[in-house]
Amino acid sequence: MVASLEIGPDQGGCRSFRSVPAEQPKPRFICLALLVSCVLGIISNPAVSNPVPARRPQDRGFKLLTDHHVQQGPSFPKPADVLIDAAHGVVRTTDEAGKTSEAFIEMPADTYNGLASAVLMNLPAGTTETTIAIVIGGAKPRIAHLKSTIAGKRPFMLGGTLREATEWTVHVELGGIAKVIAPIIGKEPPDYHVLIGGGEDPVFLREVGPLSEGGPIWRVQQVSAVFPE
């Protein structure tokens, strides 16, 4: 199953979000959208992904301070509540029973949970490949990497004008023994596909990929952008 979430025009400085089924006219669950401080969350009876923004100081470029990822409901194979405090190297996890545990982990300077799309939009011109670090939460959190490479150009229509977007393929590199075992047992994460509109002001257009480990593939897309399928 592929679900779709569309992003509408700006309203009061924030963008509005609405979800629609990509293939099934009558989805088995209700999917709504949650807007918090201009940051996207997704609710499904209920299910929320990243209700709290990954924040960064505005005067020193991108630097992850905190990221709070919460998910629950039929859209997700298992619930999760992970708070990453990058400034102190703390990962706080709350399980289904409400028990909270903390772990300390050394996070690289390029740890960007919740900021992957923003990083792609702000790369120097001519960049064809980049890698960032992310924290995978849990009782024993670990560092993984997202390797992004340009897959090509994609035409799209915006306001009746033909434009061109850059398609990025984002590959999750688990590292360590997990990198060897995951493909063998069928647990290797699928690649993500992100489309960024070019020009002087790059803009996020579409992302296709799972929102959680083992979850369905979602398509998150700007309403106004039309792609030939």
**Predicted TM-score (pTM) of this structure:** 0.71
Smallest Cα–Cα separation from 43: which of 95, 5, 98, 90?
Answer: 5
Both tokens of 33, joined, read 């959208």
CA distance 39 to 35: 6
What is the per-residue pLDDT across 10-45, written as a single tens digit (0 to 9) for each?
433 333 334 444 443 333 333 333 333 334 444 444
* Domain definitions of the chain by residue range: 2-226
More confident residue, 130 or 2: 130
Residues in the chain: 229
Q: What mean pLDDT comes out for the span 53-68?
A: 65
Lowest-pLDDT choice from 35-39, 62-66, 172-176: 35-39
